[in-house]
Structure 1
Amino acid sequence: MKMMTATIFEETEKDIENAYKLQSKPKIEKETSYVLSQIIVIMLGAFKDRLKEITFDTTYIHFNEQYVLSDKNRMALLEWLKRLMLLGMPTSDLEFGKLKLDLEDWYYQISGKDIVFDYREDYLIKPKQAAELLGVSNVTLNKYMKQGLEHVDTSSHNKIPNHAVDLWKDPVYCIKMQYLYQEKKRLRQTPEERLSEVYEELMQYKKKYKTSYIEKAFEGIDIDAMDDPSDYYEWRDLLEEEGRITDQIIGGEGH
């Protein structure tokens, strides 16, 4: 079962190339909107056993003109066409997850806005199940979730989409998942809200190491020789983020 016919693929490909050849902003935006709508329609139709709906945080897309008119977007549009053309059924959770994450990433590039995927409950698993599948403790899984392992806010105990576990094992998509998680948080939070979170996270490290200072906590320790230096690097990154956000608030930016 193919999601897009060869005829539609070829005609759309020609339209995209022509729009960029002319550098016509209306035509490029039209083709971008068309490809986006096709992805949404196809995903909702092909993956109705996983997805209930896909929603946006705005009723009208204001395109990021610099990106949309760039060759990067031209290449992205052509790549999406190929993926839709080659997309067959059935599709594994891993392949679905890659498609979902790539759509999320591309939508963020073209609009700077958020896109929300509403999953069916039976496609979600409990954090405990995810921990078992990843071979880690519940504490470590909780850390992964804070770093960006995809999870949804729901009243149910099932919070993690099936594909998230497979994507977390993939080095490229694991990084992409974490990046998008941070970007989405940035979109949804005020600097003050994020700073409050940073304070809470810093306090966890201070309590764990019984000191307010990272230098004292790791005094005399060769960080590079540690089996797991993640605490040091995460603490350090939080301190840097605290400084950036504080400067942003003091400078009156971000509002």
Structure 2
Amino acid sequence: MARTIVITGGSRGLGRQVARRFSDLGEHVVITGRSDRVRETAAELGVTGIECDASEPASVDAFAAQLGDGVDVLVNMAGGNVDLAGSAPKSLKDLAAQWNANLSANLLSAVLTTSALRDRLRPGGALVNVGSIGAEYASSSYGAAKAALAAWSAGLSAELAPTGITVNVVSPGYIEDTDFFQGKLTAERRAQLIAATHDKRPGRPDDVAGLIEFLASPQARHITGQTIHLNGGAYTTR
């Protein structure tokens, strides 16, 4: 029987690849996105697309009202580094706006969506939040937001695991073929990011999709409360 897989931020980039992966498995996939592009992506992938800004409570409420009674897998992928979209803050007011924007996009979006769907998550299901290697160097608002996401996820795992629901964070390093850097990645910086890995290659969207597929599978039922790094060794744990 097909499971219901909900993927926020699924209209492009990594979210799109994850949606394609689950759709190819024959699952019932629902993706969200902030613009009407989500409908175009949904039509291309053969999934359900619902417009939703995951950082806006009213929008999340409206989205949740359109879902059925049960969700098997929730993947919170909505987010991105808001810092890359603008210039450096010139005042405390600008700095506060920058931090609020990244916290809203990368932390609050996951909190709101999870809270709206929490009671619909079926036993044996999975919640996967997408973090970042930037959380390990959390001097920026983006890195700090992703670090907070990982901490919140660990606490949430303790709450949901007794009901059979796992909660984990997938934390990618540099992933090629996405629009994460919004055209601002120089050839020199790209070379540095690849050189920092052990295997000397960039990550690929399918690497992320494959790991999320595994965490949502029956084989991963005893993995919960973890941040799983996917970066080719650019950041190592012990």
Q: TM-score, normalised by structure 2?
A: 0.26
Q: TM-score, normalised by structure 1?
A: 0.25
Structure with greater helix share of residues: 1
Larger radius of gyration: 1
